[in-house]
Amino acid sequence: MGDSRLIQGRYRLLDLIGRGGMGEVWRARDESLGRHVAVKCLKPLGPNHDHAFTRVLRERFRREARVAAALQHRGITVVHDFGESDGVLYLVMELLDGRNLSQLLEDNKQHPLPVADVMEIAEQVAAALAYCHEQGIVHRDLKPANIVRLRDGTVKICDFGIARLGHDIGFTSRLTGTGIAMGTPHYMSPEQIGGDGVDHRSDLYSFGCVLYEIATGVPPFDLDDAWAVLVGHRDTPPRPPREHRAELPEYLERVVLDLLAKEPAQRPDDARELARRISAHRAAPAYVPAGAATGPAPGGPAGADRLPSWTRGMTTGHKATGTGLRATPADPSAGLSGEWIARPATGPVIEEPAP
């Protein structure tokens, strides 16, 4: 794609913003409305690629457009247009002027973010998640790279490539295959790992992982071995955040640990409740919870023999604040699920194409 490429006689591609395994994102100009936008393009695949896999990728791309376009909230990236030009599927979105949370941690030399910033981000993301869930949509791949903080302080959730529509389970099955877990290892819920039913509470667990990382500088299970990471999520109580960073408020630690409960029923009921709780804490910083949860530091992969078969031979990918395993091969579908940034990947999405 050259700089002068004009899509549908309207969107002029200007600068390449980022590249994923299957596509690219460009800064572009909408010639009709005279504004700058982001254009996400799915690159056409050659004849040597599996046709079924190609079909799944194209369905996922269309799905992202459909899901994101249905959402109207200040905390969710706006989709303006979708179509196909010369065999290339494209998605036109608002151009975000900011940094994702993974980049913010890198900008901060991999140190945690200020507590005030963590709480502000937490409240905004909780409100956006509440809206998504109330529309029957589960994101399923919430991670630092998929949350962007704009220069004006607004926080937005992006990338709905593997989101699930509550009323569209059959379509989801065609995209993922029955029982196939999807997500990024450092941010996956126990039920995602087990291939169990996933609902809005899985997003809450992933959100807890994100808050843990931006508050402490490390993910809950900071391990390079994928097997140990998965077992940690499923079986091991996370190390309390204040053991990493003593100055964190006790109420913030309590919120994070509640989100990281292994059983979905033990997490907050919904993101709306979570948003109200965070707002109340911010308004009353002297709040002290009834008690602080404790648990052993994450250990080795005990009980790993009970992990599902799809985990065998898997690698962790790159967490937001570490180098991870540099030898990890790129997942060919990663371009549809969070790799739209000009930086090293934060972790592949685990999936198997539908047969």
Residue carrying the six token digits 């896999």: 53
Tokens of 4: 């002068």
Q: Which of 30, 23, 21 is nearest to 13 (CA)?
A: 30
Report the candidate in 312, 315, 294, 182 with the shortest Cα–Cα distance to residue 240.
294
If we measure between CA atoms, which residue out of 329, 298, 57, 263 comes closest to residue 174? 57
Do 351 and 162 meet the contact criterion of CB atoms below 8 Å apart? yes
Note whether 216 and 207 are within 8 A (CB). no
The DSSP result for 144-201, as a single string, is GGGEEEETTS-EEE---TT-EETT-HHHHHHHH-TT---B-GGG--HHHHTT----HH
- 262 has binding-site annotation: no
- Separation between Cα atoms, residue 106 and residue 101, nearest integer Å: 9
Among candidate residues 141, 159, 203, 331, the one labeled active-site is: 141
The answer to whether 44 and 87 have CB atoms below 8 angstroms apart is yes
The question of whether 225 is a catalytic residue gets the answer no
Tokens 């790129």 belong to 330
Nearest to 75 by CA among 137, 148, 136, 135: 148
Binding site listing for ATP: 40
Catalytic annotation, residues? 141
